[in-house]
Amino acid sequence: MRTLITGGAGFIGSHLSERFLAEGHDVVCVDNFITGRPDNIRHLLDNPKFRVIVHDVSKPLFVDGLIDNVLHFASPASPVDYQKSSIQTLKVGSLGTHVALGIAKAHGARFLTASTSEVYGDPEVHPQTESYWGHVNPVGERSMYDEAKRFAEAMTMAYHREHGVNTHIIRIFNTYGERMRLDDGRVLPNFVGQALRGDPITVYGQGQQTRSFCYVSDLVDGIYRLLFSDYHLPVNVGNPVEITIKEFADEILRLTGSKSQVVYKPLPADDPKQRRPDITLARRLLGWEPKVGREEGLKRTLDYFRKKVQAEAKK
């Protein structure tokens, strides 16, 4: 099979590229490197089954040869990135999804788009099930990402219903692992970077908001299973083990052995107060559930970040 992955040099996209190569696919990675990094895929460049196209998928794209699968993972995904590139985020969620769906339609390929738990906004239903329509501020400081993903879901279902494209939608909850950027702005790299440098750990609000963290290999396995399923409506994939942000800060301090102090700052606008996936559907449809516990996954990720911080200190 030949699989095209937009955002294939990003954090999740690079792990997907690895997985599909390991499964014997030829992989076409499309990335404009706004948030993706060449280092994420450098180890794949000598593989004759791996090809990189440097391109903004918001613009028309022609790919020669047959494509069997299209995975649309191009988008800034952290608040720092999508607020800095708000228009580009909206374009890749709308125009980029349209382009990627067009490729899938032209090739008769399977299609899977990366949606997010952010479509639930600051949820009034807990845990979040796929049937919940969400509580999103359409003009708030996070709206460019939330609404881009909601539009992408709608566009994906329109192509399925109107053109018969074999589409799939995955709603991704907080994911972590190797190849996250230290300056990504999300809670895990923030806490780990601060702890390893000995800087104060920044907790917003009182730290009582909750998150559920899924290790990247578990997420990739869920994506792979969903792509080859017969289900077309959204499916949550994430780890349902919930933890408060303050507890998470304490856990990072313990695992790193850091003496950093915790400091508190005001909670950002529209920051979700709670986040935990209901993965009943993923268990039933895909036979999927996470295998890597948080402590094990964090230890693997900390090894990666320690090397990054050490390299940073030498510059």
Q: What is the DSSP letter of 199?
A: P
**Once rounded to an integer, what is the mean pLDDT over residues 129-137?**
96
The whole-angstrom separation of Cα 257 and Cα 250 is 10
Superfamily of domain 2-176+215-237: NAD(P)-binding Rossmann-like Domain (3.40.50.720)
> Judging by DSSP bridges, how do beta strands 262-265 and 201-204 pair with one another?
parallel
Residue 314 has pLDDT above 90, yes or no: no
Cis peptide leading into 48, omega within 30 of 0? no
**Looking at the predicted structure, is the pLDDT value of residue 270 above 90?**
no
* Predicted local distance difference test score (pLDDT) of residue 182: 87
pLDDT value of residue 191:
95
Q: What is the pLDDT of residue 315?
A: 73
Residue 112 has pLDDT above 90, yes or no: yes
Is pLDDT above 90 for 259? Answer: yes
- For residue 126, with 0-12 CB atoms within 10 Å meaning exposed, 13-18 middle and 19 or more buried, which class applies? middle
CA distance 204 to 268: 7
- In this predicted model, what pLDDT tens digit does every residue of 31-58 receive, in sequence order? 999 999 999 999 999 999 999 999 999 9
Q: Is the pLDDT of residue 18 over 80?
A: yes
The DSSP letter of residue 269 is T
Catalytic residue, chosen from 82, 120, 145, 224, is 145
Catalytic annotation present for 176:
no
pLDDT value of position 120: 97
Say yes or no to pLDDT of 256 above 90.
Answer: yes
pLDDT, tens only, 279-311: 999 999 999 999 999 999 999 999 999 998 888
As to burial, measured by CB atoms within 10 angstroms (0-12 exposed, 13-18 middle, 19+ buried), residue 97 is: buried
Residue carrying structure tokens 């993972």: 73
Single-letter amino acid code for the residue at 315:
K
Whole-Å CA distances, 41 to 38, 196, 301 = 6, 25, 17
Q: How confident is the model at residue 269 (pLDDT cuts 50, 70, 90)?
A: confident
For the stretch 19-29, pLDDT in tens is 999 999 999 99
Residue spans per domain, the chain: 2-176+215-237
Beta strands at 242-244 and 210-212: parallel, antiparallel or unpaired:
antiparallel
Percentage of the residues of the chain whose pLDDT score is greater than 70: 100
Q: Collect all residues with Cβ–Cβ distance below 8 Å to 76 and sequence separation of at least 6.
A: 34, 35, 82, 84, 85, 88, 89, 92, 145
Give the span between the Cα atoms of 118 and 272, in whole angstroms.
8
Report the pLDDT value the prediction gives residue 137, as an integer from 0 to 100.
94
The pLDDT tens digits for 221-245 are: 999 999 999 999 999 999 999 999 9
pLDDT, one tens digit per residue, over 140-179 is: 999 999 999 999 999 999 999 999 999 999 999 999 999 9
Q: Which residues contact 100 (CB under 8 A, 6 or more apart)?
A: 6, 57, 70, 72, 74, 111, 113
Q: Which residue has the higher pLDDT, 59 or 315?
A: 59
What is the b/e burial string over 227-264, where b = at least 16 CB atoms within 10 angstroms of the residue's CB? bebeebebbbbbbbebbbbbebbbebbebbebebeeee
